[in-house]
Amino acid sequence: MCERRGQTPATVRDWQAIPPVPAVAFKHMELRCGPAERTFVSSGTTQGPQQRSQHMLPDLRLYHAAATAGLKEFLFPDVPSMPILSLVPAVADTPTSSLAQMVAWATETFGAAGSATFATAERFDFTAFRDALSSREPVCIMTTTGALVRFLDRCRDAGWCFRLPHGSRLMDTGGAKGTSQGAPRMLSRNGLLQAVWNTFAIPGYFVVNEYGMSELSSQYYDNVIRDRYHGRGTHRAKATPHWLRTRLLDPATLHDVRPGEPGLLCHVDLANAGTALAVLTEDIGRAVRDGFDILGRAAGAEARGCSLALADFEG
């Protein structure tokens, strides 16, 4: 695709000129520069498991370095370690999950004594998770948004309530996706932050939403813990580590939109050195003062723009 456009390492002089690969291309072909040391697979698709994206990483070391550096900057800038309580299945249960691998690295690097996982690929152990929340020291909860909403509902129904020590924090990711246990109810972001405060006594400035994709080797995080640690007032937004950039593209032309306008998110991730640096997503976002906000998934004309990008990629 790059050669067809005349855009190669010999001619490209600006990162914004790198032709983006549509994320859907990872469902149809192997995008890698060598034999895969590890393959990560997207969590699901309406087209069935055989049409999941496959990210084939030739070397896991760069992914490891990017994941731990991002976690340090956005989730643990103020502490070397703390107990990590996870509602994400262990990597041994879900070896193709990039999220499970990231949480495993987080636990290895930042997890103190008492760290534990309370989920398998089939079920959550909410009773054991509840008991672990009696900790007298700050803890970090790492969870999918769907699992968190299920636990909040269990707390509401059972009358459970916790007052976690100051400095405790929560990272959620993935939105309210369905699993084999059924889809959870939907909560707005503000509603979720309020429920987390009511249930755990974790204030909103210690609640971070992570945005990642199986097709990327880096993650985005809400900027609230990082900016509070550095003494900066901030608007909650998705922030980028310094080796990651985001463009917002018009779905019809794939040109950059004007400031403030919504567009397809296109990520340029240097940690994807062994696969595809520039990845065009089906997510719609808008640039804001401190990063970008995610508005939802492409639909209608926007989705057709993604399909046109795939057709152009396949030539």
Distance CA 131, CA 133 (A): 5
Domain hosting residue 178, numbered range: 59-211
Please check whether residue 120 lies inside any domain of the structure: yes
Which pLDDT value is given to residue 179? Answer: 44
Contacts for 257 with CB less than 8 Å, ≥ 6 apart: 248, 249, 250, 263
Which pLDDT value is given to residue 2? Answer: 82
Computed over every residue of the chain, the mean pLDDT equals 89
Beta carbons of 187 and 195 less than 8 angstroms apart: yes
Q: pLDDT (tens digit, 9 = 90+) per residue, 44-97?
A: 644 455 578 999 999 999 999 999 999 999 999 999 999 999 999 999 999 999
| Structure token digits, residue 5 | 């456009």
Please check whether residue 284 lies inside any domain of the structure: no
Q: Which helix (H) or strand (E) holds 144?
A: strand 140-144
Residue 122: which CATH number? Answer: 3.40.50
Whole-prediction pTM = 0.90
Would the pLDDT of 177 be above 70? no
Please check whether residue 242 lies inside any domain of the structure: no
Overall average pLDDT of the 262-274 stretch: 94
- What letter does residue 256 receive in the DSSP assignment? B
Closest CA to 200 of 266, 151, 252, 145: 151
Please check whether residue 280 lies inside any domain of the structure: no
Of 93-102, 106-115, 180-189, 260-269, least confident by mean pLDDT is 180-189
Distance CA 99, CA 197 (A): 25
Q: pLDDT (tens digit, 9 = 90+) per residue, 202-247?
A: 999 999 999 999 999 999 999 999 999 999 887 899 998 999 999 9
Please check whether residue 107 lies inside any domain of the structure: yes
Other beta carbons less than 10 A from residue 73's beta carbon: 17
Q: pLDDT (tens digit, 9 = 90+) per residue, 181-204?
A: 555 677 888 999 999 999 999 999
Please check whether residue 108 lies inside any domain of the structure: yes
How far out from the chain centre does Cα 235 lie?
19
Q: How many domains are there within the chain?
A: 1
Please check whether residue 9 lies inside any domain of the structure: no
Which pLDDT value is given to residue 156? Answer: 94
Please check whether residue 113 lies inside any domain of the structure: yes
